[in-house]
Amino acid sequence: MTDFYRKLADAYPAGFWRDFERLKVGDAAGAESAISFIEADPWFFRSGYTKARLATYLKRIPLSPLQRERLHDALIRIAASRYRQEYPYFCRLARSLATPHFAARLADLAASSNADVARRAKWMLAQVEEALRLRREP
């Protein structure tokens, strides 16, 4: 293993890949590592691809109310900060976490005077509002 790949492996927390594999097969025991990784939002080689996959896997498992709220907070921070390749995956994750309170928080962010922040928040809000609308329809 080259020094680069050794250092890359060290960038992930201990047990991360074990929990990643758990999450991949639908085992909610892997959720905590995934949520912590998304909350930390590290940025290094291939981390965006990893976060995109985590977002996809998190949509498939039941989450506790606290885990859902932590993800709401992380997604709000991400929408307020930047756009990277994993952002569309975060928008789809937001859809699976839709609540009226989360929609209201995104609507507040969508009213930002910063055009980039407002645009990102509107993209995520559109997903959340669509999920809420579909839940109301018979």
Name the pTM for this structure: 0.92
Q: How far is the C-alpha of 44 from the C-alpha of 138, rounded, in Å?
A: 44
State the helix-helix crossing angle for 65-81 and 115-136, rounded to 10 degrees: 150
Between 27 and 6, the more confident residue is 27
pLDDT, tens digit, for every residue of 46-75?
Answer: 899 999 999 999 999 999 999 999 999 999
Handedness of CA 104, 62, 127, 73 (dihedral sign): positive
Residues contacting residue 130 through CB under 8 Å, at least 6 positions apart = 95
pLDDT, tens digit, for every residue of 86-128?
Answer: 999 999 999 999 999 999 999 999 999 999 999 999 999 999 9
For the chain, the domains span 3-136
